[in-house]
Amino acid sequence: MIHTRPGGAKAIPISGSSVYKAGSMKKLSNQHPIQPQKKPSIFNKHTLYEVAVQSPEVHIHWFNHFFRELLGRQPHNLREDFCGTFLLSADWVKSDPGNTAVGLDIDPLTLEYGIRNHLKKMNSKDRKRLLPLCKNVLSVTKLKTDLIVACNFSFCIFKKRKLLIQYFTNCYRSLGRDGLLVLELAGGPGMIQPIRESRMITMEDARKTRVKYTWHQKSFDPVSHEAHYAIHFKLPDGTQLKDAFTYDWRLWTIPEVRECLAEAGFQDSAVYWETEHKGKGTGEFVRTEHGDNAHAWIGYIVGIKTAD
């Protein structure tokens, strides 16, 4: 059901990170050289994904808002977990000359796409403030940041409570003296019913090529809360990119996530819920301890680390 965030910000998870296990860690190096290539096709699945799904400027707006409201200052240092092509990190750096970003993902090929199409196109000053790493999000990063974000439900890849708490604990240790862990989550009956929903997307080429995008909710197990999803594309010539991205998640509830954040050491947590107007989402989020029983919803759960 949820394949576009109400209000225009798109919300489907970044792929490129299939299985996260403790101990998995790599770095981009000569072991994964970046091969020269021709100008990328607009039909590359990562290009299609970025156009269909991502709205980094909206995420950046809300991250700044949460941080100012909860900690009273402007954040400048971001760690983007499950970053994929790290489009968000690139836009974060470009949004303020004082901003820096680190992106973590375990898929070197997806990161290499980002290096070719984002990092290499940035000016030299901006490029120095962005560091994509082929590294497991379960690790503690030496470079401490103001913000760690896991957008588009990506942390739901952790299906076991123990592993989720390990992730949250290491995020806590990777933040500075104070900071926020921002987790994007979805739920409601509309997130678990088997359904395919399609819409047309417009590519950013001179011809404004139109491509069909489909969000496919394949299955949901009410006992385990495990669910399977996929993204498909249909190109103008009829070519099908079936299962271009697939997702195998546990759909955590908000109380479960908040309990795990507390157990991991976060001093407090906050929930930001999307407001509605005439039954439709506005794209605006407010802090609350109560939500409406919407058919499908998107919210942010924020772990708050305060200075000792």
Residue with structure tokens 């996260």? 20
Question: Do residues 182 and 189 touch, judged by C-beta distance below 8 A?
Answer: no
pLDDT tens-digit series, residues 234-278:
999 999 999 999 999 999 999 999 999 999 999 999 999 998 877
Does the pLDDT at position 20 exceed 80? no
pLDDT tens-digit series, residues 69-100:
999 999 999 999 999 999 999 999 999 999 99
The stretches of the chain forming alpha helices (DSSP H) are: 45-53, 56-71, 87-95, 108-117, 124-127, 161-174, 254-263
pTM of this structure? 0.87
- Which residues, in sequence order, are bridge partners of residue 213? 199, 233
Share of the chain above pLDDT 90, in %: 80
pLDDT tens-digit series, residues 155-165:
999 999 999 99
129 or 24, which is more confident: 129
What pLDDT shows up at residue 59? 96
Written as six digits, the tokens of 62 are 């809300």
Task: Write a three-state SS string for 162-203.
Answer: HHHHHHHHHHHHHEEEEEEEEEEEEECHHHCCCEEEEEEEEC
For residue 184, the Cα-to-chain-centroid distance in whole angstroms is: 7
Which residues, including other chains, have CB under 8 Å from residue 60's CB and lie 6 or more apart? Answer: 88, 91, 92, 95
Q: What is the Cα Rg of the chain in Å?
A: 19
pLDDT band (50, 70, 90) for residue 281: confident
Angle formed by the axes of helices 254-263 and 161-174, nearest 10°: 60
Mean pLDDT of 21-37: 38
Which residues, including other chains, have CB under 8 Å from residue 212's CB and lie 6 or more apart? Answer: 198, 199, 200, 201, 233, 234
Bridge pairing between strands 100-105 and 280-287: unpaired
- Which residues, in sequence order, are bridge partners of residue 285? 274
Does the pLDDT at position 8 exceed 60? no
What pLDDT shows up at residue 39? 43
Mean pLDDT of 220-233: 98
Does the pLDDT at position 5 exceed 50? no
pLDDT band (50, 70, 90) for residue 14: very low
What is the Cα–Cα distance from 185 to 156, expressed in whole angstroms? 8
Does the pLDDT at position 27 exceed 50? no
Does the pLDDT at position 6 exceed 50? no
pLDDT band (50, 70, 90) for residue 207: confident
Written as six digits, the tokens of 140 are 């503690």
What is the Cα–Cα distance from 35 to 290, expressed in whole angstroms? 51
pLDDT band (50, 70, 90) for residue 1: very low
pLDDT band (50, 70, 90) for residue 2: very low
What pLDDT shows up at residue 277? 77
Closest CA to 86 of 63, 57, 56, 66: 56
Q: Which region among 30-44, 126-140, 216-230, 263-277 has the lowest average model confidence (pLDDT)? A: 30-44
Half-sphere exposure of 84 (CA within 13 A, CB side): 22
Question: Do residues 37 and 117 touch, judged by C-beta distance below 8 A?
Answer: no
Sheet hosting strand 77-81, strand order edge to edge = 130-134, 100-105, 77-81, 145-150, 175-187, 297-305, 268-277, 280-287
Mean per-residue pLDDT over the chain, rounded: 88
Q: Which region among 16-20, 191-195, 221-225, 275-279 has the lowest average model confidence (pLDDT)? A: 16-20
Residue 264: DSSP 8-state:
T
